[in-house]
Chain A
Amino acid sequence: MMMSDSGGSPPAGPAEIRVLVVDDEMFVRSSLEAYLMDSDIDVTTARTAEEALRHIGKAKEEGRPFDAGIVDLRLPGMSGEALILEIHKVAPDMQCLIHTGSSFYGISDELLAIGMGQEHVLLKPLPDLALVVESIYKILGKTRG
C-alpha cells in the first residue's frame, strides 16, 4: 500500500468501509487508493481480476468482507465485467462501481440483470475524485460522516 497513514490515526471502528480497487494502471490505482484513504476509507488494491478474487476470498475468511469494489473493465486476463459477475456470485453483498476509459460505455445486459445501472459507471479521467467517494456512499446506501 502506498502512502499509507504512518500517523497512526485512530481506527475508524467496525463501521469503516472496505473498498477493493482493481486497475492495471499503477498510477490510477494509487491515486484512488490515496484519495479513498484520505477520505477514511479502508482500501485494498489489485492489479488483475484474479488477484482481486484472491483478496475477496481472504477477506471473507478473515470475516472482514469488502463492502465495495471499483473495477476497471480492461484488465489483463479476466475482464472487469467477468470479475463483477463473479463477485456477484461469490460475494453477493459486495457492491461494484465500474471505472472505465471508454467514454461511451453502456452497461451490458448481463450487468443490468444483476441490478447494475448507469449510476454505477465512473468515466476516466474523473474531473473530481470526490465523485468516487460520493458514489461509494450512494451504492452502499450510507450517508457520509
Chain B
Amino acid sequence: MVRNETKSKNGDALSLEQEVERLRKRLAEVEESERKYRTLFDMMIDGYALHEIICDDKGKPVDYRFLDLNPSFENLTKLPRAILGKTVREVIPGIEDSWIETYGKVALTGEPVIFDSYAEPLGKWFKVVAFRPGEGQFAVIFTDITNEKRALEELRQLRNLLSNIVNSMPSVLIGVDVDCRVTQWNLEAEKETGISADDARGKVFTDVFPRLAVELENVHRAIHERQPLEDRKVQAEKDGEVRYSDITVYPLIANGVRGAVIRMDDVTDRVRIEEMMVQSEKMLSVGTMAAGIAHEINNPLAGIIQNMQVMTRRFSDELPRNRKVAEACGIDMDTLMEYVKQRGIDKMMEGVLESGRRAARLVHNMLNFSRKSDSVKRPCDLRNLLDQTLELASSDYDLKKKYDFRQIEIKKEYHPGTPYVKCEESKIQQVLLNLLKNGAHAMARKFKDSEAQGWVAGDEGIEHPRFTMRVAPEPQPGEEESGGPPMVLLEIGDNGAGMDDETVKRVFEPFFTTKRLGTGTGLGLSVSLFIIAQDHGGTMDVESTPGKGTKFIIRLPVAGGNQ
C-alpha cells in the first residue's frame, strides 16, 4: 500500500530511498518509545512480572510461567532473571495453591485484584496488583509497603500506649470538642459514671456526666480564652457521701482542632486530712491550755477540800481540843453538834467535800487524757478505766451541746474476776471516749423524739437510751480454753440508731464518716482500731442492727502475771 502510493507520486528509486528513510525514522521512533518504556520498566521501583497461566485439561489453572520481569522484581523477590521461561512450581516447589488460584482467576476472567501480602522469608510487606494484559496472561506489580506498614503499626502502638496512659490515670479525663461532645473518655470516667467510652463518645458531656454540669461555662471560656481554668474542692454527693473534686479544664488548640480536656481528681481524702490537721492543731493548743488551767484549778480545789476536811473534823467529837475550845466559848459541844446536825450543816460540808473531790477527779482525768503519751504500758484495770472515761464523757462539753450524757442509763456488767491488761491508759481511754461519744450521738439521733415527750432516765416501760458495758475475762473461769492467749473482753453497746451492713463494713475505714464535714474527721474508729490492734495486740469488732443499736467489742491481752 505504501509502496504503491509512493510510486504514484515520485520516481521509483527516490521513492524507495525516501521510504527506507521514513521507515528508519519510524523504527527509531518505535525504538525510542521501546527504549523509554524499557527504561521505565527497568527503572521503576515497583516490581513487575508478566506470566502466562498453565491450565490442566479441564481448564483449571495449575501453574504459571514467568515471561518477563524487571530488575525491581528481582530485587524485591530475590528471584533472578534466570527464572524466565520456567514455571513457578519449578522455581518455588512449595508454593501454595491459593496463589495459582488467585492469579489464574485474573488471567482467565480479566478481573484485576489488589491485596496486601506479607512475605515472611523476606520480612516485607507488599501491595500486589494483578491484571490481565493479554489472553491467558497475567501481570503483577509489587510495591514494597513495609515502611508504611511499620509506620501504621507504630502509630497503632503509640495510640495504644497513649490510651493506656490516659486510662491508667487516677483522674477522670474527658476530651470534648468545641460543641462539648465527648471525644475521649478514660477508664476512670467509665468507673465514675458507669457509662462506657463507646456509649459516651459523641454525647454532650453534661448528659453523660451530670456532676460536671457546673463546668460547662468553664469549658466554653477555656476554649475561647485559650487558658486552663481550675475549680477547687467542688462538692458533690456520691452514694450518699459528700465527695470533693478538683476540676481542671485545659483548652486544646493544636492543629486547629478546638476542644478541651476536662480533668477531675477526687480530693476528698486530702480535704479531710486538711480539716483534720486544722482540727488537731486546734485540739493540741486547747489541750495544752486545758492542762495549764487544770493545774491552776488544783490549788483552789486544795483550798476548798482541805479546809473543809479541817472544818469537818473541828465540828466532830474526834479531837479532844474541840470540846475544850467549845467550853471556853461557853458552848456545850453536844448542843453544838446537835445544832450542826439539825440544820444539816454536816451534810452540807460533806456535799462541799464530795463536790470538790469530784471536780478534782475530773481535772485529774482530763489531765490524764490530755497529757502527751509517754508510750509506757502499765497494768490497768479496764473497769476503772471505763468508769473514769464515763466520768470524762459526761462532762464533755461538745457532747453536752447535742446530748446530755447524764440522761443515758448506764448498765454495767463487770465481772469481778477481771484480770489487768497492760496498756497505755490515755490511749485506751481515747478509744473508749470515742466509742461513748459515737454511741451517744447514735442514741441522740434515735431518741430525739422520745426526749421531746419528756421521759426521764429510769422510766419503766418506755425504751430509753442505754449503754451496756461489759468487762469480763475471756475465756471466763470454767469456760473451755480457746487456745489463744487469755484476753479481757470489753463491750460497749448502745441502743441507738444502729448501722446498715454497708456502713458496718466501712466503719473502720479512714476518712469514712456519716457525719457532716467539720463534725467528724472520719478518723476516730480507724485510729481506735490502730490503737487496739497495732499498739496493744488486741482486736476490735462491731455488731450492729439498724434501729436496734450497735455494739463494739474490744479484746485486750491480759497483762502477763502482773496483776
Contacts and interface: CB of A to CB of B under 8 A. Distances in A.
A60 to B, nearest CB: 29
Interface in B270-318: 294-296, 298-307, 309-310, 313-314
A122 B301 CA distance: 14
A103 interface: yes
Contacts of B504: none
Given A7-B328, A125-B301, A125-B304, A35 B309 contact: yes
Nearest to A25: B299
A103 B294 contact: yes
A104 B310 contact: no
A90 interface: no
Nearest to A129: B309
A6 B319 CA distance: 14
Chain A's interface: helix, strand, loop or mixed, by majority?
loop
Given A25-B303, A27-B303, A125-B304, A103 B310 contact: no
B294 to A, nearest CB: 7
A134 B371 CA distance: 30
A115 interface: no
Nearest to A130: B309
A9 B324 contact: yes
A38 interface: yes
Interface string A100-111: 011110000000
A38 B321 contact: yes
A59 to B, nearest CB: 24
Nearest to B329: A6
A102 B302 CA distance: 12
A126 B302 contact: yes
B356 interface: yes
B329 to A, nearest CB: 9
A17 to B, nearest CB: 17
Contacts of A124: 298-299, 301-302
Contacts of A46: none
B300 to A, nearest CB: 8
Interface in B176-234: none
Contacts of B368: 103-104
A7 B306 contact: no
Interface stretch (B32-40, B66-74, B357-365): B357-365
Contacts of A128: 309
B367 interface: yes
A103 B301 CA distance: 13
Chain B's interface: helix, strand, loop or mixed, by majority?
helix
Contact of B367 (A28, A35, A104): A104
A32 interface: yes
Contacts of B302: 25, 27-28, 31, 101, 124-126
Given A28-B303, A101-B299, A124-B299, A38 B313 contact: yes
A53 B310 CA distance: 27
Interface in A2-56: 5-7, 9, 25-28, 30-32, 34-35, 38
Contacts of B300: 25, 27
Contacts of B367: 103-104
A28 B294 contact: no
B311 to A, nearest CB: 9
A127 interface: yes
Given A7-B321, A124-B301, 17 more contacts: A5-B321, A9-B321, A25-B300, A27-B306, A28-B303, A31-B310, A101-B302, A103-B364, A124-B298, A124-B299, A125-B303, A125-B305, A125-B357, A125-B360, A126-B302, A126-B305, A129-B306
24 contacts: A6-B328, A7-B321, A7-B324, A25-B302, A26-B303, A27-B302, A27-B303, A28-B302, A28-B306, A30-B307, A31-B302, A31-B309, A35-B310, A38-B310, A38-B314, A38-B321, A101-B302, A102-B298, A103-B295, A103-B298, A125-B304, A125-B305, A125-B306, A129-B310
Interface of A: 5-7, 9, 25-28, 30-32, 34-35, 38, 101-104, 123-129
